[in-house]
Amino acid sequence: MALSTISLLSPGETLAGVIGREIRRRRLAAGLSQAVVAFPFSRALVCSIEHGRAVPSLAALAVLLDHLDVEFDEFFRAVQSEMTMRYTPRHGHHPNPTPCRRR
């Protein structure tokens, strides 16, 4: 029986990217600028988060979500729904491995 791994994200995807995309989606839907959502932080912080280059602390995320009028559980349900479970074979697994023999 071959070993396998479970991946929660698509290839090349990061949790930071998924969080950033969800912040951006909600910000645009609310019609708010990065500066408004970021206050009292910088607009650059929100830009970095939206591009997946930074992950906000829980305190910073709480401020951002408050400005977006979104609860933590609602936000993370959306993040979770964007992440998909998929089954992938172990890296380098050969489809017909030869059995190992003792010498």
Going by C-alpha positions, the residue among 22, 73, 31 that lies closest to residue 49 is 22
Q: Tens of pLDDT along 21-50?
A: 999 999 999 999 999 999 999 999 999 999
What is the DSSP track for 57-100? -HHHHHHHHHHHT--HHHHHHHHHHHS--EEEEPTT--SSPPPP
Could you tell me which of 54, 58, 46, 72 has the C-alpha nearest to residue 17?
A: 54
Each residue's pLDDT tens digit, 59-86:
999 999 999 999 999 999 999 888 764 4
What global pTM score does this model have? 0.70
Q: What are phi and psi of 97, to 5 degrees?
A: -70, 145
